[in-house]
Structure 1
Amino acid sequence: MRCVIVDDSRPFLNAARGLLVREGVTVVGTASTTAEATVLIAQSRPDVVLVDIDLGGESGFELITRLHAAGATAPMILISGHAEQDYADLIAASPAIGFVAKTSLSAGAIRRLLDAH
């Protein structure tokens, strides 16, 4: 599984990359802004994209909506340090295939969402 991670926290990006690589996921790149993410996803064509809901001054919801409208085919999963119920309506209305709390992030959690999709 080839994955891109989009998050504005460099420490989280490093930790998530390390965890997922240890669990057999190929992290083809990371991005901290919507502009970086758009270019990276177009170039790397990942199998799945993990997008933080809060990208500093930018919105993960807006990013995945734009990517989806532009024809991105990789399934997108929203991630956050906040609880899923805090964003349940927005997650349901988004083109994301699901949500994973940052504290629950794992290759298994990603695969379960992909399998359900």
Structure 2
Amino acid sequence: MLRCLIIDDSPYFLSAARCLLEHQGVAVVGVASDCAQALRLAEQLSPEVALVDIDLGGECGLELAGRLHRQSGAAHLPVILISSHAEEDYADLIAASPAVGYLCKTALSGDAIRALLAGTDDRHPDDRVNGPPGR
């Protein structure tokens, strides 16, 4: 079962996402609402993927994605950026980040996470802003 860490500043979203993903075969091993907590949990729990909200209230999820990537070192924790905003709003920032992909919160699912991790993003090639994992 895929082990996931979710980082978002909305307690409601954290609860709803945990419930949804666990019913779809994704083990949510932890949730965090800020960068410090996310970095600590990532090190303690060794998740296989981290879902990071781009807008963490007063903190930047894009910056956190980079810190998680650097902190994981050889283990290389894949990060998927999430947001309630359209992907086009952040396309350049997402492409410049170490994230393996982006999911709109309304499209969040176990299958969507697994597809991004496998590099089998099913969007039309012209609509993609990210390359395969590990880029």
Mark yes or no: TM-score above 0.5: yes
1:61 is matched with 62
For residues 62 and 82 of structure 2, the distance between their equivalents in structure 1, rounded to whole angstroms, comes to 11
Tell me the percent identity.
Answer: 62
For residues 67 and 25 of structure 1, the distance between their equivalents in structure 2, rounded to whole angstroms, comes to 20
For residues 110 and 69 of structure 1, the distance between their equivalents in structure 2, rounded to whole angstroms, comes to 21
3-state DSSP class of the match of 2:76?
coil
The answer to whether the 8 A contact 2:69-2:76 is kept is yes
Q: Aligned-pair distance for 1:69?
A: 2.2
Larger RCO: 1 or 2 (CA < 8 Å, sep 6+)? 1
Q: Aligned-pair distance for 1:68?
A: 1.6
Q: Aligned-pair distance for 1:66?
A: 1.4
AA matched with 2:110? A
1:80 and 2:89 matched: no
Matches within 5 A, 1:80-99: 80-99=83-102
1:15 and 2:16 matched: yes
- Which blocks of at least 5 consecutive residues in structure 2 are unaligned? 120-132
For residues 67 and 105 of structure 1, the distance between their equivalents in structure 2, rounded to whole angstroms, comes to 21
AA matched with 1:103? T
Q: Aligned-pair distance for 1:77?
A: 0.1
Q: Deviations over 1:31-61 (max 9, x none)?
A: 0000000000000000100000000000000
Higher Cα radius of gyration: 2
The answer to whether the 8 A contact 2:39-2:68 is kept is yes
Q: Aligned-pair distance for 1:25?
A: 0.5
* Count of aligned residue pairs for this structure pair: 117
Greater shift in the superposed pair: 53-62 or 65-74: 65-74
CA RMSD of aligned residues (A): 0.8
AA matched with 2:53? D
- Which blocks of at least 5 consecutive residues in structure 1 are unaligned? none
For residues 114 and 106 of structure 2, the distance between their equivalents in structure 1, rounded to whole angstroms, comes to 16
AA matched with 1:53? I
The answer to whether the 8 A contact 2:50-2:79 is kept is yes
Question: 1:101 aligned to 104, 110, 128, which one?
Answer: 104
